Structure 1
Amino acid sequence: MQDSFDATTLIFLALAVFVIWRLRSVLGQKTGTERSPFRPVERNRTDAPGARSEGDNVVRLPGADRAQPIPAQAAPRDWRGIAEPGSAVARGLEQIVQVEPAFEPRAFLEGAKSAYEAIVTAFATGDRKTLRALLSKEVCEGFERVISEREKRRETAETTFISIDKAEIVAVEVKNKVAQVTVRFLSNLITATRDAEGKVIDGNAETGVEVPDVWTFARTLGSRDPNWQLVATDAGG
């Protein structure tokens, strides 16, 4: 039994040696130039990932040959309806999207209109909590000062929004990652101020008027806080 086992073992060993020899003769030996199965795309050193040839601003990644080249900097966006091509506003918007590609000026304007209405309403009602959340410290102090003076005189303000007829970006500035976007609003409001006896002493409690405003909102780009704050106000024509 032992002899039979030893003979069988020797036969299998001989077959294994023969098979290995045949495989080497057919497939050849490794020379060090084959592609590793874990790195299917190999390149020369001059074409290594991250290397750039003259006039080539594309960084190619392993396995990206079947995909479209990814430019290091995207082409300028089409800001038609928001800013004229090549204008200072368009250049400013490009600076913002370079830091935050998800920035969308149309969505920003919708948010700015909501903030505009909320701030004007909060100022009229004396809602300091809302103002502190939406205004910079300096602007908020100015608003609160007017509210306090109005309260001392026992006056009340009334504001009713009829419509916001226009909201357009008129200036954009990015400095030290702080973006400032200036928006010109044209709204239709019913606004009036009443004295302690309820008599209208300023404005009109029944008729709407066109009110132009130019407000500047600011935010630190790249920060976790997504909110923009009002940092400057001006009456616009």
Structure 2
Amino acid sequence: MEGQIDLFTLLAMIVAVIAVLKLRSVLGQRSDEDDARIERKAREEVRNPATAGAGSDKVVSLPRRDREEPAVLGAPVDTEEADNRVREFAKGDETVADGLFAIRKLDPEFDPGAFIAGAKQAYEIIVTSFGEGNKKALRDLLSKDVLEGFTAAINEREARGERIEQNFVGINKADILEAELKNGVANITMRFVSQLITATRDKAGTIVAGDPTKISDVTDIWTFSRDISTARARSNPNWRLIATQDAH
């Protein structure tokens, strides 16, 4: 009888040991589901790194060349096509063409058509933000001197208790008037012909300037600037408004 009890006890101990070893082996392994979850998390971190989304929402990058297809290292550049594109936007002005060629020589990514598209976008944002008195939105688009002028005008308007009611209708024309490369800095002067509905009201709500029922044609001449002197500088695609002048 005692021998039978010892045998049963021994068998129970063996079963217990096997169970413990089995449990340890399971706890020390990842299931296929665990692996899949970890892989999904890694892919998500690659798509959304911690630095993504940094910066101001109001920064407008005046684009260079369209990038619908990835660039191929060593791929030949259609120089003739690029030259024709520069001449197209220079509109027969050799001085403008020479300036655009100089800019593109230092920054091969530069494309005048894409620049104009970005400049039009920046123009609308700046005009609209100035009318709204949104100094924060202007900060990333203007040079220090121009920002000071715009800010002073907004402050004076607010001190008088005036406000602008404005509707940006659209841009009818946007042309390059001047282009130059000086000490590694690209400067491009644009003429914008736009349409606005604008009216300024005083504290009492009386219209003191403009007409809220009339579309006005507005012509502005603005100069944008961008440092392209080094590869590091060229990595920043943003242009800033550095000068404004009245159309003659």
TM-score, length basis structure 1? 0.67
Quote the offset at 1:234 in angstroms. 1.0
CA distance in 2, matches of 1:151, 1:211: 23
Which residue is equivalent to 1:77? 83
How many aligned residue pairs are there?
169
Aligned counterpart for 1:106 among listed residues 113, 125, 143: 113
**TM alignment of 1:34-45, pairs within 5 A:** none
Quote the offset at 1:86 in angstroms. 6.5
Which residue is equivalent to 1:120? 127
SS in 2 for 1:134: coil
SS in 2 for 1:180: strand
* Letter of the structure 2 residue corresponding to residue 112 of structure 1: A
**TM alignment of 1:159-174, pairs within 5 A:** 159-174=166-181
Which residue is equivalent to 1:149? 156
Quote the offset at 1:162 in angstroms. 1.1
CA distance in 2, matches of 1:163, 1:125: 17
CA RMSD between the two structures: 2.2
Deviations 1:79-106 (A, max 9, x none): 3431145701100010111111111111
Q: Is 1:193–2:200 an aligned residue pair? A: yes
SS in 2 for 1:107: helix
Quote the offset at 1:132 in angstroms. 0.6
* Structure 1 residues not aligned, in runs of 5+: 1-69
Deviations 1:142-178 (A, max 9, x none): 0000000000001001221112000000100110110
Which residue is equivalent to 1:179? 186
CA distance in 1, matches of 2:91, 2:167: 34
Say which one has the larger Rg.
Answer: 1
CA distance in 2, matches of 1:204, 1:217: 30
Quote the offset at 1:193 in angstroms. 0.7
More helix per residue: 2
Q: Is 1:212–2:219 an aligned residue pair? A: yes
- 2:87·2:97 contact (CA, 8 Å) conserved in 1? no
CA distance in 2, matches of 1:85, 1:170: 11
* Letter of the structure 1 residue corresponding to residue 171 of structure 2: I
Task: Identify if the C-alpha distance between structure 1 residues 97 and 211 changes in structure 2 by more than 3 Å, giving closer, same or farther.
Answer: same
Taking every aligned residue pair, what percent have the same amino acid on both sides? 46
Aligned counterpart for 1:227 among listed residues 222, 226, 238: 238
CA distance in 1, matches of 2:178, 2:93: 13
Aligned counterpart for 2:98 among listed residues 91, 99, 104: 91
SS in 2 for 1:77: helix
* Structure 2 residues not aligned, in runs of 5+: 1-75
CA distance in 2, matches of 1:150, 1:85: 42
* Letter of the structure 2 residue corresponding to residue 77 of structure 1: D
SS in 2 for 1:90: helix
Deviations 1:192-224 (A, max 9, x none): 111011111001111101000000000001412
Structure 1 segments (4+ residues) deviating >2 Å: none
Bigger shift: 134-143 or 84-93? 84-93
Which residue is equivalent to 2:58? none
* Letter of the structure 2 residue corresponding to residue 226 of structure 1: P
* Letter of the structure 2 residue corresponding to residue 231 of structure 1: I
Aligned counterpart for 2:144 among listed residues 137, 142, 150: 137
CA distance in 2, matches of 1:149, 1:119: 18
Task: Identify if the C-alpha distance between structure 1 residues 207 and 84 changes in structure 2 by more than 3 Å, giving closer, same or farther.
Answer: closer
